[in-house]
Every structure is written in C-alpha cells, then in structure tokens.
A and B are shown apart, each in its own frame.
Chain A
C-alpha cells in the first residue's frame, strides 16, 4: 500500500477514536559500495520506509510505528496509539502545527545523483583506492573505502489540515588507510560529502587520508600537564555535537543540563558566536519545517560568549509557554520527537590555522579525538577523550603525539578560547550538521606519561 492510501485509511479509521492525530512517513532509498583490495567487496541497495502515528487519546500522547503498510497494520497502530496515550501521564504534551506560509515553500533538491551510473560510481571508488595506495610505500592497504548515497523523503499530515513533504539527496565517500613503517601501525581517514557524485575529488581524498596516516606514525605521549592547544576544526565540531543535548529546552527543564539557568550569562570567550541557520545553502540539514511541521528558524545561540537561547520542540515549548523553535526532530519514525539543530556553526575568525599554530611556544595540536559517546558527558559538561595530534615547539609541529587524553569541562574550553581561525569545516551530518573553525585554547589538561 502506498503512503497516501495508508494515511487516508488511518485517518478514516482513527477519526472517531483519537482526538487529534499526526502521521509521519519517512522513505529512504540507499546505495552503498565498498571497495577492498581492488574489488567490490560489498554492494548494498535498499528501498524502505516506515510510518509513525501519534495522537491524543485519554490524557496523553501515544506513539506507534510500523514498517508494514496494510490494513492490519493500520488498525494495529491506531489501537496502540490509544493504549499508549491512556498510559501516558504528561498532559501538557506536544502540540500539532497548523498549516503556515513559512513551511509552504518546498525544498526540492537538484537530482544530481543519477548523473553517473552505478558502474561509473564503482569505477570512481576503485580508482580512489588505487590512487591512495600509490602515494606512499608505507601505505599498502585500505581499511575502508566506501561510497554511500541517500534519497530521503519526508511526508506528514495532521488533523489540523497540515500536509507537508520534502526530500533530500546526498552522499559521502569515506576512505581510511593503514600505514605501517615496520615499527608502528597508524590509520588516517577522510570523509567527503557531496550532492553530485561528479564532484568527488579523488586526488584530494586520497592525499588527505594518506597524509594523516603517515604523519602520525611513531606518535607517542607527551608528559602529563597543562598545555596550550589548537583543536582542529573537525575535532571542535565533533565536541560541539557531543554537547548539543545540553542546549535543548527538554534537558534544561529536566535539570539534565549544565547550561540550566545560564541564559544571559557568559559561558564562553567574547570571540565565540554560535548560530543555527536552517536555510544555509551548503548545509546538509537544510529544511523549512521540523518533524512536527513547525517552521524552522534562524537563531543565535551564543553571541560573543553569552548564552542567548535554547532549542525547543513543541512539548518543551508548551511547558515554557512559547512556540516551538522548529527543532523537533526524530532519529527515525520509530523514535519519539527529540530536539536537535538543523545546520549549526561557530562563526569563523580571520587568522589562518598555520599562524595560530605559529603563535604557540609549547603546546599540542589536536587533530583527532575518539570515544565521544562514552568520554563526554553532556549532563555535567565534563569530558575526557582519547586524542592524537602533534607536539608544537616554538611555533613548529615537532613530532606526532598519540596515547594521550584531553580532559576538562565544556564551559572551561569555551571560556579559554583565545583565538578562532578562518578554516570552517562541516562534519558528517548526523544529529544536525555542525560547522566549526579550528580554535586556540589556553591551558587544558593532558594526560600522557
């Protein structure tokens, strides 16, 4: 059954049983190619979708989902929404959005994905692996050489007459290579986002991954202590993403955020400004409406170091007596509506990263951190992360560093930012699309030997 028929059926069957309801459909076409040892190691295609129904029944809002669209499933999700609603205590629940002119404009993406055939895409990836393994004799193996493209479509309807849809097409190439010099083994990787596979820059991807792997060979810890550090743009954007749950109204209301009660307070250095731009042309989370149908909005979250605003979905907004800020998104149709930003970025400065490094007499340039899902606590703001990079002495990169941790508190990091470079980088679009420049931070704890 197609979504249109299925949603008509659900609305017809549910009309007299559920007070208000909303149906949300996400369909996804996906293609993935993995190359290993000059062969197509893995090839995956899919065409899948799922439907989520939520509605007010009894006193609360019930949720249910299904991946099978037939009459039996329509009846099942209606019955489940009713039961689940009856057991839910939260009376001030989410609210449904009315149709609005802000969400009317459709964001249809350019369809560049099909400009190359599957065979041509495979050729690109075979070539990428080959090129990468010719650059340096210490790099003789790829760990992952993969291509993935998505075509996503969102559709939603509610009993207030809302009827919205949009789509998004994008893809990425990920290359990770293994370097070995007889004594040490290191890996290096690059991720490359695209909307049109013709834009894939093989030479650049290969060069970056190989450079990272080879340059980190022989890395060893530095002595434990406090150091001035440079956090490379990709690292800062990952740390920002890790702490983002603290910026949501939902967690602030529950007392599960170290940013509670800090609106209007300085939480960072004066040179730090953080904005959300849902309409950013180059952003991969660009959209006109959130997963509850509310219009997305541009906002400044941190302005010159001062915390200005939290992000709200409709449930948290209702509790606060305000309108949703258009940040109600779901991980999938299986999950309840959470809160996340669209495109989020730290405004870049004017100095180059090289000059920032040159300004440090003794310090560490951090190029990678690992363990963000366990070593970073977005409730307390504390973190302790496995890191690698380079020792800086007299403004020069002296030697690779590995086997260390950087530790501290997020507010401490933001407050100790002494410079922001001009090299903004957007990471992998996950729980939002995060862009950040490299930053210089004074006196951070490093644990080594």
Chain B
C-alpha cells in the first residue's frame, strides 16, 4: 500500500497542474484458475495483478494514467505527463485524509489460501463426472474453477482514504452433446462474492448435470421459428433482457452525453406498470456486490423503475458533474487499467403476481425461452439482441418441443412496454458485463416474464 505522504504529494502534483479533483486507485489482486478437460487438469494458472491509476478531473474533462511502478518518483512523473499546460491553486494536506469505515456485505469464512489445491481439483472432478455421466450423448465436458482476491485502495483530493477487499469465486461447467456429426453446448456457471465456503453451499453434481441437461435437450432440438410472436422468458439469466434492453441505457455515461434512448425521462412512464427494476450493490455475497464502488462511494440499493416510472439513473462522479446529480455508488472498473464509469451491480426485475404456468397458459403459439445466453445493445438507439440457449415452442398454452438457435431482437423502449405479465419466481444468476471500463462481474435477474410480441430470429417460417 502507499503511505500518506506519497499519496498527498501525488494528489498535490495533480491539482497544481490544473485539476479540481484528483484520485489515486491502487489494485493488488491474487488470482488462481484451474481447468479440467477430458478428466485431466489441463491448465493451472495463478498470478498477481498490481498497478496504480491516477485520475484528474477538471470540470467535466478527465485525464487518466496508469502504471505498474508504485514508487513516488514514477507516480509524480506519470502525473506530470498527464497535464502540463494548466495551473491550479488547490492543495491537499495529507493530514486531512479520513479513513472511511465501510460496511461488509460479503463476509468471507474460508480464505482460498487456506485450502490446498487437492480439494479444488476434487471439485472439478466431481462436477466433471456428474456432467459426463449424465447421458451417452455427452461427448466432452470442461470444468473450470476460478478464485480471486482483489484488494483496492482509493484516496482522493476531497480527503477520502478507503480500502476494499473483494473475494470472489466462480465454477463453470461446459458440456458438449454430439449426435450424427452435430454438436450442441450447455453451460452453467454459478459464482459468488464469497470464500471457499461457497462450495458447501452449492451442489456440484447438480451444477454438472444442469450443463449436460441443456446440451442434451439442444442436440435433439429442431431449428427455432422466425418472425414476431409472444415469448415467455424464464427467471434467472433471463434478466439479461433488462440488463441489455434498459440497464445500459440508464448508465450516466450515456445519459449525460444525451446519447441514451432513455435520457430525459426521469419521472416519466417508460415501462409497463408491472415493471419495478432495481440495481443493488449491497446484496449479501452477491456476485456483483462491492462494499464501496471504484471511486470509494458506498454502494446502495437504487430503484431504477417503479411501477413503470423511471426513478433513477446509475451515476458516477464525473457524469454526475455533467448531470448535476450525486453519485449513486455505481462507478466500476475492471482494474487499474480503466478509469471508472457508471455500471450495473446486481440488477433485477422485482417479482409480480403471476405464476410462471399462468404466463405460459395464456399463449396460443409462441416461444418459451428457458435459458438465455449473452446479448448486446446500442444505447443510443436502444436496439438489442440476445441469444436463447434453451428454448421450447409453446402451443395452446403448453410447452412442447425444444428449439435451438434463436436470437431475440428488439428495441428497449418498445419491449419494456410490451411486458404484459410478470411472474412471482424471482431468481438471480451470474454474468460478466463488458463495456468501456472493462469486464466486470454482475448479477442479472428476474421472475418469469411474458412479452406480447418480439422478433425471434430462427430458421423456420412457421412457429
């Protein structure tokens, strides 16, 4: 870690060169990954990330630099390189730093370093065998184990002095099913901001079988239909719909530049009255939870949409300046290599009244998307897409044959108004979200929802 004098001197240098706000971010992260293929450990990799980012704001202009060399000399040199033309007046007294006492939303019981690798190898093998032996059509299984402990330190010219520790682990199973020269995949990857005790809480046999179950269903599936139709999206990773269709466009990085399809709509109706959506950075042991955000602001629960009315954006300090609004504790970054910006943490649609069966029963002909894959969005237009990993046709109110290869496309503004049923079975699942400040862990979630009309991109003309 850095001492107070060094940090004070670096911040002073930053302000004397024309900034009105300066920040030092240090990251020291230990990671370890293991991968098992064909029953054997094929890759075993561990290491240490270490670096420092310095950010200077001047009004709404931002400059950022990073390096792996944390000596005072190197940091002062970097700061001088960042800004040479302007002169400012403020200075920082290193005695003014106040240690910020943070909450602890993700307590850790068993540190990864206290568990020998043999046990972790056993986890990989347990899930592998469960997945491989699920069915004869399962031709290949890959299981991976990931752990990381990210220690960060943030100080800024407002006197903030804060640290956070983020302990995370994730376990992924990827199963391939083969039949008549065709291959289909199934994937399941639970994760948490937790220590090794996570593996007492999840069932790895079930995790392995789940990935293989999807692969098996898909190898026997027919092509998905094409055209517009009603769709029921199941709970859990289905929440990627809201994440892409709306969440990104609520990020201040787009709203503040007036390049968001949802800009200028606070207090207005933007969704069906059935929709309440929340982003909560404080969820206990949540995959997207942090105690403070990557600017040192405490995270919190933000209600984004309440009964269809837009209540809040997701805001970081810099974009807050542009919008004249306070940070919502939503500044995030992958590492010291990225300046922070507004991002999501754990985002979900709140549960409604309907049972999932009621939602399906009401559809004559449509699609049931049980598991979604990833997706993306253009926040300026609101156009989004995401893939259906496991889908079924709905005929006369009943789930029938499985279908593969569907992509759902639509527009965020339109789709939120077309949600005409919200289930009572909220569930969150884990994902990685990529954007301008890098790839970060997020939870997405929702109960089952029904969309009255959306474009399904398959390969058959009749549903």
- Write the residues of chain A forming the contact surface with B, with a CB cutoff of 8 angstroms: 36-37, 39-50, 52, 60, 62-69, 73, 76-77, 80, 83-85, 87-90, 141, 143, 178, 185-187, 221, 224-225, 254-258, 334-336, 370-371, 373-375, 377, 379-380, 382-386, 402-408, 445-449
Question: CA A52 – CA B61 in complex, angstroms?
Answer: 36
Chain A, interface SS category:
strand
Q: Which of B162-170, B178-186, B264-272 contacts A (4 or more CB under 8 A)?
A: B178-186
A402 neighbours in B (Cβ, 8 Å)? 383
Q: Which of A80, A254, A373 contacts B38 (CB 8 A)?
A: A254
Whether A44 and B339, one on each chain, are in contact in the complex, defined by CB atoms closer than 8 angstroms, is yes
Q: Which of B6-14, B281-289, B349-357, B451-459 contacts A (4 or more CB under 8 A)?
A: B451-459
B190 near A: Cβ within 8 Å?
no
Q: Which of B182, B373, B380 contacts A185 (CB 8 A)?
A: B380
Whether A87 and B409, one on each chain, are in contact in the complex, defined by CB atoms closer than 8 angstroms, is no
A-B complex: 5 closest residue pairs judged by Cβ atoms = A405-B457, A374-B374, A447-B226, A65-B47, A386-B385
- Write the residues of chain B forming the contact surface with A, with a CB cutoff of 8 angstroms: 31, 34, 37-38, 40-51, 60-68, 78, 81-82, 117, 121, 139-140, 142, 176, 178, 182-185, 224, 226-228, 257-259, 261, 337, 339, 373-376, 378, 380-381, 383-387, 404-407, 409-411, 455-459, 461
| Number of A-B residue pairs having CB atoms within 8 Å of each other in the complex | 228
Question: CA A309 – CA B46 in complex, angstroms?
Answer: 33
Whether B455 and A255, one on each chain, are in contact in the complex, defined by CB atoms closer than 8 angstroms, is no
Name the distance in Å between A49's Cβ and chain B's nearest Cβ. Answer: 6
Question: CA A255 – CA B107 in complex, angstroms?
Answer: 41
Whether A379 and B381, one on each chain, are in contact in the complex, defined by CB atoms closer than 8 angstroms, is no
Known A-B contacts A49-B68, A187-B381, A384-B457; the reply to A371 vs B407 at CB < 8 A is: yes
* Residue of A221, A374, A380, A407 contacting most chain B CB atoms (<10 Å): A374
The residue on A at minimum CB distance from B62 is A42
Question: CA A403 – CA B407 in complex, angstroms?
Answer: 12
B456 neighbours in A (Cβ, 8 Å)? 447
The residue on A at minimum CB distance from B48 is A66
Q: Which of B48, B50, B178, B409 contacts A386 (CB 8 A)?
A: B409
Question: CA A411 – CA B334 in complex, angstroms?
Answer: 37
Question: CA A68 – CA B385 in complex, angstroms?
Answer: 40
B405 neighbours in A (Cβ, 8 Å)? 382-384, 407
Whether A258 and B409, one on each chain, are in contact in the complex, defined by CB atoms closer than 8 angstroms, is no
CB<8 Å pairs between A and B, sample of 12:
A45-B64, A45-B82, A46-B67, A77-B47, A89-B40, A255-B139, A375-B457, A379-B184, A386-B407, A386-B409, A449-B228, A449-B455
Known A-B contacts A375-B385, A386-B457; the reply to A67 vs B226 at CB < 8 A is: no
Q: Which of A87, A370, A371 contacts B41 (CB 8 A)?
A: A87
Question: CA A375 – CA B458 in complex, angstroms?
Answer: 11
Q: Which of B40, B45, B337 contacts A46 (CB 8 A)?
A: B337
Known A-B contacts A44-B339, A221-B455, A380-B185; the reply to A67 vs B68 at CB < 8 A is: yes
Question: CA A402 – CA B382 in complex, angstroms?
Answer: 12
Whether B64 and A42, one on each chain, are in contact in the complex, defined by CB atoms closer than 8 angstroms, is yes
Whether B48 and A88, one on each chain, are in contact in the complex, defined by CB atoms closer than 8 angstroms, is no
The residue on A at minimum CB distance from B404 is A382
B31 neighbours in A (Cβ, 8 Å)? 334
Name the distance in Å between A330's Cβ and chain B's nearest Cβ. Answer: 11
Whether A40 and B44, one on each chain, are in contact in the complex, defined by CB atoms closer than 8 angstroms, is no
Q: Which of B42, B183, B227, B339 contacts A42 (CB 8 A)?
A: B339
Q: Which of A89, A371, A379, A405 contacts B42 (CB 8 A)?
A: A89
Whether B41 and A404, one on each chain, are in contact in the complex, defined by CB atoms closer than 8 angstroms, is no
Q: Which of B66, B261, B410 contacts A48 (CB 8 A)?
A: B66
Whether B44 and A88, one on each chain, are in contact in the complex, defined by CB atoms closer than 8 angstroms, is yes
Name the distance in Å between A77's Cβ and chain B's nearest Cβ. Answer: 7
Question: CA A37 – CA B337 in complex, angstroms?
Answer: 25
Name the distance in Å between A310's Cβ and chain B's nearest Cβ. Answer: 16
Question: CA A446 – CA B455 in complex, angstroms?
Answer: 11
Question: CA A65 – CA B45 in complex, angstroms?
Answer: 8
Whether A44 and B64, one on each chain, are in contact in the complex, defined by CB atoms closer than 8 angstroms, is yes
The residue on B at minimum CB distance from A371 is B385
Question: CA A259 – CA B227 in complex, angstroms?
Answer: 30
B409 neighbours in A (Cβ, 8 Å)? 386, 403-405
Whether A178 and B41, one on each chain, are in contact in the complex, defined by CB atoms closer than 8 angstroms, is no
B228 neighbours in A (Cβ, 8 Å)? 449
B48 neighbours in A (Cβ, 8 Å)? 65-68, 73, 76
The residue on B at minimum CB distance from A377 is B185
Known A-B contacts A48-B68, A62-B44; the reply to A404 vs B455 at CB < 8 A is: yes
